[in-house]
Amino acid sequence: MAGGCKRSAMSKKPEATIETLRISRLAHKGDGVAETETGQIFVPFTLEGELVSAKVQGQRAELKEVIEPSEQRIAPVCKHYGACGGCSLQHMGEASYKEFKRQHVIDALAARALDVPVDDVVLCDKGSRRRAVFAAVKAGHKVLFGYHTAKSNMLVDIEECPVIAPEILKAVPGLRKLAGEILSHKGELKFTVTTTQSGLDVAITGMGKNKEKRYFDLSQAAVANNLARLTVDGETIIEIRAPLLVMSGVSIPIPAGGFIQAALSAEQAMGKLLEEGLSGCKRVADLFSGAGTLSFKIAQKSNVHAVESEASSLKSLMQGLRQAQGLKKVTSERRDLFRRPIVAKELDNFGKGYDGVVFDPPRAGALAQAQELAKSPVKKIVAVSCSPASFARDLRVLVDGGYKIKRVVPIDQFLYSPHVEVVALLERVS
C-alpha cells in the first residue's frame, strides 16, 4: 500500500501557473522554446522572439496571448487551427516556414556530423494532399468526424481543411452520415480516404464483427457517395470502379490504404531528382518500392528490380506494368528488407549487378540495407525519407562506406505540419 501511495504522489502533475515567456527558438516539432530558471518550457503556436502569456504546467504550456508578435506571424488559414491536431505551423509566414523545415534537415544531418549544403524547401500547394485519415465517434446523438486534437483523444468535427484535396472535403458530409449509421456508441472508426482517377477510395477500420450485419448498408452508402471502392477491415465490400492512380504515365490499381506519396507535385519533384541522381545507370534496384511510386519513373530510362514486402502492393505494380508501354524491363520481388536486406554480393552479382539503388523506407529508416550498400560497389544512390533523423543515420553509414552526398532536397508534402520529406543524391567516390 505504501508503494502505491508513493507512486501516486510522484505522478501528481505540477500546479498550472500563468507566466510571461520570451520564445528563444523553435524545437524540431515546431513548438516555441522558452528558457527559464527552472528549465525549458515548450509553447505551441509561437515564433522565435515573441513575448507571450501562457498557462504553464511542468515543461508544457498552453498559449493564452501573444503580447509581442513576430513579424513572421500570419493569420491561420483554417477555422479549426489550434484545436485540430493536424496542423501546427499555420501561424508561420512562408519565409520562416521554409527555413524551419530546412533547418530541421540541417540539424538532423549535423547530429550525425554531416556538414553538407541543403537546398531550399520545395513547397506543395494547399489542397494538394490526396489522402486523409479521419476518425469518427458518437457523442450523444451527434457524430463527430474529423481529426484528433494534439496530444489527446478529443475529436474536432471538421467543416473545412485547407490541406486536403477538395473532392475529399466535399465527401465529408456523406461519410459522416455513413459513420453515424455504422458506429457503436463506444467505438471509434478510422476512415482512410484517397483520391484516385476513378473517384474516392475509402478504407474503414474498427468495425469488427459489426460489418457482417452491415454489408447491404455499406454497399448502398458506397453507391450513394459515388465511391470507387469501399473496404472495411481489409475486406472489399464493393468495387464499383477500380481505383487508379497515374504514376509516371502508368495507371496503377492501388491497394486499399497502400502507400502513396501524399501529394502529386511531391512525387513529380522526386521524379526529377531520380533522373538527376541515376543519370547513366542501366540497372536500378528500387527498394521499399510500394506499388511502383518511383519504379515507373526509373523504368523510363533504366531496368528496374522493385523490392517490397507487401504482396498487395507488388500485385498492383505488376497489374499496372501489364498496361504500360515504352518502359525498360521491370521485375519484382517480395522481400522484408528489414529482416533480409539485399546483401553486398547480390548488389554486385560478379560485376553484373546494380549500378543504381533507390530506397524509400518507412520512418524507421533502412539501417540494415544501408550497411550492405556501404559494402557494395553500387555507383549511385537516391535516398528518400519522411524522417530526417533516420535519414541522417543511414546517410552517415553510406558516407563512412565511401559515398559522397551530392545534393539534399527537402520536399514539403506534409503542409503545415513539422514533418518533411527529404531526398539525397549520393555517388561512390572510394
DSSP string covering 344-384, please?
HHHHHTTTTS-SEEEE---TT--HHHHHHHHTS---EEEEE
Note whether 280 and 181 are same-domain residues.
no
* Structural domain includes residue 390: yes
Q: Is residue 87 part of a domain?
A: no
Walk along the chain (430 residues) and give the pLDDT tens digit of each residue.
334 433 344 456 778 899 999 999 999 999 999 999 989 999 999 999 999 999 999 999 999 999 999 999 999 999 999 999 889 999 999 999 999 999 999 999 999 999 999 999 999 999 999 999 999 999 888 999 999 987 777 899 999 999 999 999 999 999 999 999 999 878 899 999 999 999 999 999 999 887 888 899 999 999 999 999 999 999 999 999 999 999 999 999 998 888 889 999 999 999 999 999 999 999 999 999 999 999 999 999 999 999 999 999 999 999 999 989 999 999 999 999 999 999 999 999 878 899 999 999 999 999 999 999 999 999 999 999 999 999 999 999 999 999 999 999 999 999 999 999 999 999 999 8
- Residue by residue, DSSP assigns 280-309 as T-SEEEEET-TTTTTHHHHTTTSEEEEEES
Tell me, yes or no, whether 295 and 385 share the same domain.
yes
CATH number at residue 115: 3.40.50.150
Residue 12, pLDDT score: 66
Q: Flag whether 57 is marked binding.
A: no
Position 250 in a domain: no
Same domain, 57 and 191: no
47 and 177 share a domain?
no
Residue 97 lies in a domain: no
Residues 300 and 174 in one domain: no
Asked if 85 and 148 count as a contact pair (C-beta separation under 8 A), the reply is yes
Query: How confident is the model at residue 276, as a pLDDT?
Result: 98
Question: Quick check: is 362 in a domain?
Answer: yes
Q: What is the 3-state secondary structure (H, E, C) of 375-397?
A: CCCCCEEEEEECCHHHHHHHHHH
DSSP collapsed to 3 states, 160-178 = CCCCECHHHHHHHHHHHHH
The string of DSSP letters for 217-286 reads: HHHHHHHHTT-SEEEETTEEEEESS--EEEETTEEEEPPTT----SBHHHHHHHHHHHHHHTTT-SEEEE
Q: Is 235 annotated as a binding residue?
A: no
**Same-domain status, 277 and 230:** no
Q: Supply the pLDDT for residue 11.
A: 53
Inside any domain, residue 80:
no
Instruction: Pick the last residue of a domain from 241, 275, 298.
Output: 241
Which cell numbers hold the place of 337?
A: 528488407
Range of the domain at 25: 2-71
HSE, side-chain direction, 13 A CA sphere, residue 71: 1
Do residues 308 and 418 share a domain?
A: yes
The answer as to whether 96 is a domain residue is no
pLDDT value, residue 158: 94
Look up the CATH number of the domain holding residue 163.
2.40.50.1070
From 78, 84, 161, 386, the catalytic residue: 386
Is 323 assigned a ligand-binding role in the annotation? no
Known catalytic membership, residue 386: yes
Residues 117 and 135 in one domain: no
Are 144 and 207 in the same domain?
Answer: yes
Total domains in the chain come to 3
Distance of CA 274 to the CA centre of its chain: 19
288 is in an annotated binding site: yes
Same domain, 264 and 335: yes
116 and 143 within one domain: no
308 found inside a domain: yes
CATH code (residue 27): 2.40.50.140
Is the domain of 266 the same as that of 406?
yes
